[in-house]
Amino acid sequence: MRKLLAKRRNVEGKLERRDIIKDYSDYGFQTYAPLSRIGQIPDRNSNRNVVKSHFLSTYEGLLELEAGLSPSVMEPRIKAPRPKVTKGFISRSARRELELMKTHQALKEEKGCVMEKKPLRFLFKTEKPVPRPPTPAVEDPPEGDEERELAIIFLQKVLRGRSTQNQMFEGKQRRLELIQELRTTHALQKEEQDKKEAEKQVTLALQRQRDTQSERASQIESNIAGLSGGVIVDMLDFLSKELVRLQEERRMHAFTLLAERDRRIREAEESGRRQIEERRRREEDEIFKQAVKVHQDTVDMYLEDVILGSINQTADAQAREEIHRKAEELNNITYAIEETRNSQQSEEIVAELVYRFLIPEVQKSAVKERVRQSQKRHLQAARSVISGSPGSSAVSQPPFPSDRASSAVLNDILSQVEEAVPRTVTPRDPGPTQNSLTSDPTADTPNGNGKHAD
């Protein structure tokens, strides 16, 4: 039956933790009233602690006790409480109590005012059939469980009977002296019975005094236990609340750590995506720039080709026109000079051409020949030094026939020019140049361009 009751109390099969505060606040719990079936045997002879006095059981005893009490006990010591005076400053507890009263009154008024519900015009009740109760079913016990249960019940009966016999035997052993005393008392004579009765009264008085002292001690112990129990209850309540707070704080800390880790993971993923998007955007921008640059370069090249072509064509046309115009001007000038020119001017033109073109070319070829001859002498000297014939470099070679022929032709041309040209110096012909023409042509020094310095 106990198992069935326990199962009925916990139908859902949930596991409940032990509530220590609830156990100690319930005075019917096993801590205060242990059960004998779990191994603890309470004292069944609790009647011995009951105080039996004629002062309490008889009216005369009560009058005697009342007469022995002091008059101060009969006077009441209750003082009437002072009326509460409302001052200018209201304490925090009073303010909180006033706020609570106002809140309670507002809630009560809100609950009291019930809005009247208007009847629904088109509402009608749909009657549902009464659901059938579930059919109870009893599971068949497995084979052997019933016999085992009967054997266990029988064994429990035997153990209970044996425990009862042991309790009776222990009680008999504890009161064995009283039993023997009773047996001897009933067997004595009247005088001895009176004596024994007097001893019994003394013994009972001592026993009552001892019981009173033990009751007072037990009352003190119970008060101390109650106080210590209250302190322990408060301490356990505080510890349980602190434990719950610590668990909640740890749970919140764990939640914050998980949220921080999720935030960091999301930030890392977002930064990765952002970097990929930025890289893709840079690539797309670069591709767009390259495409635009190609288009711009193509347009620039096309425009440059068009402009250069048009410039070349325009320049070619302008150059041709300029050449034709210059040619016509030169032809006109030449024709005009030819018409007005005499023999002396023709000779001057020939002399000018000889001075400006023929003589510099002859001098240039002579200078080149001299340079070649000097280089050839140096090459021969180097070859002779390399071949080991140093004496051969000291022998001077005679001039080549070509040199002699060129020198003779140059002298003939100069003599003819001197005879044809008058001795007067023209503005175009400086003196040093004329003197150089009459002198030895080998002594002339041309400039870097192979021409005489003007």
CA angle 416, 422, 426 (to 5 degrees): 115
Q: How far is it, in rounded angstroms, from Cα 452 to Cα 454?
A: 6
Report the chain's C-alpha Rg in angstroms: 75
The encoded tokens of residue 240 equal 């349980």
pLDDT at 5 over 80: yes
The encoded tokens of residue 270 equal 């977002």
pTM higher than the cut 0.85: no
- Helix 145-174 to helix 176-187 angle, to the nearest 10 degrees? 50
- Would you say 420 and 347 are in contact if contact means Cβ atoms under 8 Å apart? yes
pLDDT on residue 157: 92
Could you please report the per-residue DSSP string of 290-317? HHHHHHHHHHHHHHHHHHHHHHHHHHHH
pLDDT on residue 403: 59
- Would you say 404 and 428 are in contact if contact means Cβ atoms under 8 Å apart? no
- Would you say 207 and 81 are in contact if contact means Cβ atoms under 8 Å apart? no
pLDDT by residue (tens digit) across 378-428?
A: 888 888 888 764 444 444 445 555 556 556 666 676 666 556 544 433 434
Q: What band does 262 get if pLDDT is binned at 50, 70 and 90?
A: very high
pLDDT at 447 over 50: no
For tokens 């009972």, name the residue. 204
Q: How far is it, in rounded angstroms, from Cα 316 to Cα 187?
A: 174
- Would you say 59 and 65 are in contact if contact means Cβ atoms under 8 Å apart? no
**Amino acid letter for position 86:** T
Where is pLDDT greater, at 86 or 231?
Answer: 231
Over range 277-302, report the average pLDDT. Answer: 92
Which residues, at least 6 apart from 36, have a Cβ–Cβ distance to it below 8 Å? 42, 163
Q: How far is it, in rounded angstroms, from Cα 21 to Cα 29?
A: 11
- Give start and end residues of each alpha helix (H) in 354-389: 359-387
For tokens 């096993």, name the residue. 30
Which range is least confidently modeled, 108-117, 272-281, 414-423? 414-423
Which range is least confidently modeled, 82-91, 262-271, 366-375, 415-424? 415-424
Torsion of CA 254, 259, 263, 266, to 10 degrees: 110
Q: How far is it, in rounded angstroms, from Cα 277 to Cα 281?
A: 6
pLDDT at 337 over 80: no
- Would you say 208 and 51 are in contact if contact means Cβ atoms under 8 Å apart? yes
Q: How far is it, in rounded angstroms, from Cα 152 to Cα 232?
A: 41
pLDDT by residue (tens digit) across 243-252?
A: 999 999 999 9
Over range 438-447, report the average pLDDT. Answer: 39
Where is pLDDT greater, at 434 or 162?
Answer: 162
Among 152, 171, 131, residue whose Cα is nearest residue 47:
171
Q: How far is it, in rounded angstroms, from Cα 319 to Cα 78?
A: 142
**Amino acid letter for position 140:** D
Q: How far is it, in rounded angstroms, from Cα 76 to Cα 69?
A: 14
In angstroms, how far is CA 148 from the centroid of its own chain? 65
Q: How far is it, in rounded angstroms, from Cα 304 to Cα 297?
A: 10
- Buried/exposed code over 367-395 (b: 16+ C-beta within 10 A; e: otherwise): beeeeeeeeeeeeeeeebeeeeeeeeeee
Among 44, 21, 399, 46, residue whose Cα is nearest residue 215:
46
Q: How far is CA 81 from CA 84, 95, 263, 266, in A?
A: 9, 21, 63, 68
- Would you say 348 and 426 are in contact if contact means Cβ atoms under 8 Å apart? yes
